Amino acid sequence: MNWQDQTILVTGGTGSFGKKFIEIIQRDFHLKKVIVFSRDELKQHEMRMAGFDQPNMRYFIGDVRDRERLRRAMHGVDIVVHAAALKQVPACEYNPMEAIKTNILGSSNVIEAALDAGVKKVLALSTDKAVNPVNLYGATKLAAEKLFVQSNAYAAGTATRFSCTRYGNVVGSRGSVVPVFLKQRESGRVTVTDPRMTRFWLSLEQGVRFVIRCIEQMEGGEVFVPKLPSTKVTDLAKAIAPDAEIEVIGIRPGEKLHEVLVNEDEARHTVELDDMYVIQPAQAMWFGYAWQSKGKPLPDGFRYASNTNTEWLDVEEIKAMIRPIEEAYLQGK
């Protein structure tokens, strides 16, 4: 894939992922054009002031709820990375229709606009919360995944292909527990909802690099899942605030003890590669099945969950992972 010839549009381009994605793609791949699509003019201005003002960059103010604006923004676009979402679990629970409008209807608009504009590749970002969802955020992301996978049926006669990535918690992203623990340690007390809790973890850069690889390899219809290490929430607290008292406050509504990235039912049509799993379409309607020859099938009853993972981060490894976030936090104080 020749990145220098590509025009790419990133929905939610001013978010944590969007900014890091654009930083890396601009530095390492030198695209023809990069379009930031987001609804916040202030964040776009702040991005420009932070150095995201190269001649090949464009800024579109727009909302994924507005299909016509998406159509206009996607004119001449080759690749779309769909990162726009409402993702704060409590906010989605309290404002359910807003989450549905952005995460489900907004995803539908991205799909329709991409089909109309003849975009070649569209990759959507999903989450472990979409597997066996217990909160509305997870349910909306599951629905978005289904939309993206099934939309390849509409696109079969055209060049447009849709796929998803699904991964765990991103260290230091907006809404991450890391900044919360950094703030709490000043008081000598950090709050943990349940000491048994485990999570999959990756850095923003790891997430971006994985998305870039998936864009290069996608055929349409796949859900790509990276192999990630797990962490115990108590180890995370010890890494950030080793001298602080840990207070257990009880699990919150819509929160799981452990997260799952591939469940038992999906495992039947999933193949394992060295560093990721590829969930193929459940129905053999169009394409996305070449992965059968590239990976190996999973054993019956396989489940990729954060509490039964074979790879774990210890306290020292967590410290190394969060060091850049901690330094940025201390500089900003």
Q: Which residues are catalytic?
A: 129
Angle at 236 between CA 141 and CA 137, to 5 degrees: 15
Say if residues 108 and 116 touch (Cβ distance below 8 Å): no
Gap between the Cα atoms of 162 and 7, Å rounded: 17
Helix axes 315-332, 177-184, angle to 10 degrees: 70
**CA gap 250, 138 in Å, rounded:** 20
Residues 6+ apart with CB under 8 A from 105: 65
The pair of structure tokens assigned to 177 is 């527990």
Q: Are 94 and 48 in contact (CB under 8 A)?
A: no
Residue 274: how many CB atoms within 10 A of its CB? 6
Phi then psi for residue 75, to 5 deg, are -60, 120
Residue that is written with structure tokens 């257990």 in the block: 248
What distance in Å separates the CA atoms of residue 141 and residue 158, rounded to the nearest whole number?
A: 26
